[in-house]
Structure 1
Amino acid sequence: MRLIRILILVFLVVLFDRSSAINFDNAGIVLREINKRRDRHGVPNLALDNVLSKGCQSYAWKMSKLTNFTPSDPTNKDYTESICKFKMERGALSRCVKDLYKGRKFDFLDPRAKDFTAMIWRSSVSLGYGDANINAQQGIFVVRYTPPGNVKGLYTDNVPPKKKKKGKRRKEKPKPQQTYFYPSALRRHRTLGHVP
């Protein structure tokens, strides 16, 4: 009987502690990929926020049990959220961030751009990350940014265009030199049978 109580207690501790089991390796990958894209737009890097990550982790576990993935609260004033479902394979997290970044092709007011604008939002300084397995082949991650982005009327100040690459300047092709014949040389040229 005492053994059963101990096992139940251990189970409850593990279950309770599960909410803080953030995968920091995956969080690091996603943070690096997002910061790489933020750098392209000249905005400061984000820092990983552990408190925000705990909320992301809890929501990712909740989402992994559902079939419809919806943002936790679209009207939330504390953070902006992006959710990505991915296949369990090498490079999946990087591809997910790349897919979120594809929203740059749309107008800011287009709902398909919301993940991109949240990612690039200049005034956001912290990122929370959580992930969960849906099954053996699929996973889901939740990313939250604070202070929140996607604020109406502030897009132009917070979502700058992509910086131009600093690369080697193209060398101008040298112009082909034109041959100039002086009148006496031109007559001689013609007498030899060459027609200019």
Structure 2
Amino acid sequence: MLKQLETITQVLDLHNYYRAQHQVGPLKLNNSLNNFAQEWANRLASTGSFNHRSNNRYGENLAMGSGHYGTMQSLVKGWYDEVRSYSFGWGGFSGSTGHFTQLVWRGSKSLGVGIATGRDGSTYLVCNYDPPGNYGGQFQNNVFRKK
């Protein structure tokens, strides 16, 4: 249990590290959101599926990996690295940048983290955000260039 808490805190710290680079305040962990994310991570890991929760009222990022690519640092960095494809001048949603924009979305204040291991040893990471991000017409007020 302590190891799980340390890992969740690491995911929070990684989020806040990247958010600070984009002039955005830190997220805070939310126990209800943690439970919500953990429930979905467990489901994905047990079924071997990889899809977003339907009818989700929160923002959601999913990642899966194994070995070096299954570390929290690698998984969260994968979301952040979408910054390379984001057009700050345009400021809209793209399927290739949605993880990045949710990660640094200024309006999101709370984070829930769920981590589970699949039958094949893969790590599943689910992060839920409240309020959710990636709203059309709001990107330029919520996603900022790296300072």
Q: Does 1:158 align with 2:142?
A: yes
**Distance apart, 1:119 and its partner CA:** 0.3
The residue matched to 2:126 in structure 1 has which SS?
A: strand
Q: Does 1:60 align with 2:9?
A: no
**What is the percentage of aligned positions where both structures have the same residue?**
29
| 2:93/2:134 contact within 8 Å kept | no
Which residue, out of 62, 75, 88, partners 1:83? 62
In structure 2, the residue matched to 1:36 is: 17
Note the alpha carbon deviations across 1:116-141, whole angstroms, 9 max, x for none.
00000001100000111103631101
Note the alpha carbon deviations across 1:69-95, whole angstroms, 9 max, x for none.
01102x53x310001112255981101
TM-score in terms of structure 1 length: 0.67
The residue matched to 1:162 in structure 2 has which SS?
A: coil
Question: Which consecutive unaligned segments of at least 5 residues does structure 2 have?
Answer: 87-91
| 2:64/2:70 contact within 8 Å kept | no
One-letter code of the match for 1:110? Answer: S
Which residue, out of 104, 107, 111, partners 1:120? 104
| 1:38/1:120 contact within 8 Å kept | yes
**Distance apart, 1:112 and its partner CA:** 1.1
| 2:42/2:116 contact within 8 Å kept | yes
The residue matched to 2:47 in structure 1 has which SS?
A: coil
Larger Rg: 1
Q: Does 1:50 align with 2:31?
A: yes
The residue matched to 1:31 in structure 2 has which SS?
A: helix
The residue matched to 2:115 in structure 1 has which SS?
A: strand
Q: Does 1:94 align with 2:78?
A: no
| 1:123/1:147 contact within 8 Å kept | yes
In structure 1, the residue matched to 2:125 is: 141
The residue matched to 2:24 in structure 1 has which SS?
A: coil
Counterparts in 2 of 1:21 and 1:152: CA distance versus 1, 3 Å: farther
Question: Which consecutive unaligned segments of at least 5 residues does structure 1 have?
Answer: 1-19, 164-196
TM-score in terms of structure 2 length: 0.88
C-alpha distance in 2, partners of 1:153/1:22?
40
The residue matched to 2:96 in structure 1 has which SS?
A: helix
C-alpha distance in 2, partners of 1:85/1:111?
17
Matches within 5 A, 1:9-20: none
C-alpha distance in 2, partners of 1:127/1:155?
19
